[in-house]
Amino acid sequence: MKPQEEYKSFNSKKSIEELQYIMLQYNKRLLELETEQNFYNFLIGASVFKNQILNVFEILEQFKNELNINLKTIRELLDKVDSQIDLISKKIECDNLLCDSFFVREYDDLELEIYSFFQNISDFKSQFFSYMESTIKS
């Protein structure tokens, strides 16, 4: 039995440098995902599909819509990550527990949002790859 994957935060004990590093890694991964999603859009538009597959173009259009939604979400998350990186640098000025608590909660919320998006992208890619494998000409 596969253990349930669930987001858990361990950020309250991390240094500012660690938090910055993690956000920079999220930024890098989101940019990579953006490139991937753009390639999938390109692939959908290529003439590489078997003709006898029922509803192939309708299904590809659904994937294209999902890709566009993913790309929009990636852009929004990149903006949030950039903002969070700015906030991290301001955390140095934060010298009370209430401020620290608010900061960590904001950081955790964004991290959870990114984590959930990565889970959704994984599910999307599984479906997309499976469908593409069955419809691309060999």
pTM of the model: 0.87
Given this model, what pLDDT does residue 88 score? 79
pLDDT interval class at 49 (50, 70, 90): confident
- Mean pLDDT over 85-108 rounds to 73
The Cα 131–Cα 138 span in angstroms is 14
Report d(CA 120, CA 104) in Å as an integer: 24
Scored b (16 or more CB within 10 A) or e, 28-59 reads: ebbeebbeebeebeebbeeeebeeeeeeeeee
Question: Would the CA dihedral through 101, 27, 71, 40 be positive or negative?
Answer: negative
**Higher model confidence: residue 60 or residue 95?**
60
pLDDT at 125 over 80: yes
User: Domain coordinates of the chain in residue numbers?
Assistant: 15-46+54-135
